[in-house]
């Protein structure tokens, strides 16, 4: 793991010029084994299509009937069936897996950490990010307060992939641009999410494109997308966006794979023609 202020990007001569990336869209259920099986099929589909990096959505492993249900599935860091599933899938398919989020044990035993784990093609864990910003929303019959069951993380995290730095964030983090600025010079920002249908319809695409445009890098977002067995409806629209803010691929609803090519030359082209990244004055 690395804080974005602690490491410099890899020298450009050592970077792979392209990478095929994929976001998995799911409609997760209260059944852990079923969710892992569904995720496994989608990972295999993405790998067969040439993906070298796969991003799963937030809560890919479990969407319970009640927010507190996730407490029963929490795992100790680096030990548990969900973590073994991710490591095994990365090793079996020889690709990078960014494992959406899963519940990890928190110091406060009444809550969990909502954590993203990253595995390299050898199945080694190389990064962990605990979601910092916790969602709260009240409108009509919709009521959410993640702080009731989740403890916030505190550290911004990135990791180095063969094509460059990858910035880690989760869902509600998307509304806080200062977090992304502090990641430093990223080739890719990932956003595993479970946006509600209400907030997603209003803001999802706008926020994702803004993060790509202002950081002049690719953004890959893997979402929950559809009507869940617990009655919740998520927005979906998993997508890949280029550094100019152009949507390269998107899936509106339902389970499936969204994929596309990440090209370092495209990042350079955008930053050369509009050098906003170099013109930054404030940290």
Check 19, 58, 61, 186 and give the catalytic one: 58
Tell me the two tokens of residue 231.
């009655």
Q: Is residue 8's pLDDT more than 80?
A: no
**Known active-site residue 131:** yes
DSSP, collapsed to helix, strand or coil, labels residue 29 as coil
pTM for the model: 0.94
Q: Is residue 74's pLDDT more than 60?
A: yes
pLDDT value, residue 6:
40
pLDDT above 90 coverage of the chain, percent: 90
pLDDT value, residue 1:
43
Check 171, 186, 217, 253 and give the catalytic one: 171
How many other C-beta atoms lie within 10 A of the C-beta of residue 173?
23
Q: Is residue 14's pLDDT more than 80?
A: no
Q: Where are the domains of the chain?
A: 18-272
Query: Which pLDDT tens digit goes with each residue over 199-227?
Result: 999 999 999 999 999 999 999 999 999 99
128 falls in which pLDDT band (50, 70, 90)? very high
pLDDT value, residue 49:
98
Of the candidates 220, 216, 231, 225, the residue with the CA atom closest to the CA atom of residue 277: 216
Q: Is residue 59's pLDDT more than 90?
A: yes
Q: Is residue 269's pLDDT more than 50?
A: yes
Q: Is residue 251's pLDDT more than 50?
A: yes
Supply the mean pLDDT for the chain. 94
pLDDT value, residue 11:
58
Helix (H) or strand (E) holding 164: strand 164-168
Judging by DSSP bridges, how do beta strands 238-241 and 102-105 pair with one another? unpaired
**Residue whose token pair is 């960014």:** 98
Helix then strand then coil, in percent of the chain rounded to 5, is 30, 35, 40
Query: Cα separations (Å) of 201 from 44, 71, 198, 252?
Result: 30, 29, 6, 11
pLDDT value, residue 255:
98
For residue 251, the cross-strand partners are 238
Question: Which of 40-44, 144-148, 151-155, 168-172 is least confident?
Answer: 144-148
**Known active-site residue 67:** no
CATH for 18-272, options being 3.40.50.150, 3.40.50.1110, 3.40.50.300, 3.60.110.10: 3.60.110.10
User: How far is it, in rounded angstroms, from Cα 88 to Cα 120?
Assistant: 10
Of the candidates 177, 280, 162, the residue with the CA atom closest to the CA atom of residue 219: 177
- What would the mean pLDDT of 77-103 be, rounded to a whole number? 98
**Known active-site residue 58:** yes
Check 19, 61, 70, 131 and give the catalytic one: 131
């Amino acid at each position: 793991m690395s804080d974005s202020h602690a490491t410099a990007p890899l020298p450009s001569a050592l970077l792979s010029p392209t990478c095929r990336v994929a976001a998995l869209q799911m409609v997760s259920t209260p059944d852990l084994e079923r969710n892992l099986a569904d995720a496994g099929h989608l990972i295999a589909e993405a790998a067969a299509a040439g993906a070298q990096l796969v991003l799963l959505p937030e809560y890919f492993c479990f969407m319970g009937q009640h927010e507190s249900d996730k407490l029963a599935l929490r795992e100790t860091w680096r030990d548990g069936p969900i973590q073994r599933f991710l490591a095994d899938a990365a090793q079996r398919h020889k690709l990078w897996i960014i494992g959406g989020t899963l519940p990890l044990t928190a110091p406060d035993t009444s809550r969990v950490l909502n954590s993203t784990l990253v595995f390299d093609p050898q199945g080694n864990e190389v990064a962990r990010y605990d979601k910092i910003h916790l969602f709260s929303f009240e409108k009509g019959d919709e009521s959410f307060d993640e702080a009731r069951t989740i403890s916030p993380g505190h550290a911004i995290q990135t990791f180095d992939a063969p094509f460059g730095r990858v910035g880690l964030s989760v869902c509600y983090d998307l509304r806080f641009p200062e977090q992304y600025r502090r990641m430093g010079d990223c080739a890719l920002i990932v956003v595993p999410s479970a946006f509600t249908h209400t907030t997603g319809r209003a803001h999802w695409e706008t926020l994702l494109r803004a993060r790509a445009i202002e950081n002049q890098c690719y953004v890959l977002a893997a979402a929950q997308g559809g009507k869940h067995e617990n009655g919740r409806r998520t927005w979906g629209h998993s997508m890949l966006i280029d550094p100019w803010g152009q949507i390269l691929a998107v899936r509106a609803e339902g389970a499936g794979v969204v994929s596309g090519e990440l090209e370092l030359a495209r990042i350079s082209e955008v930053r050369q023609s509009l050098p906003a990244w170099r013109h930054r004055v404030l940290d």
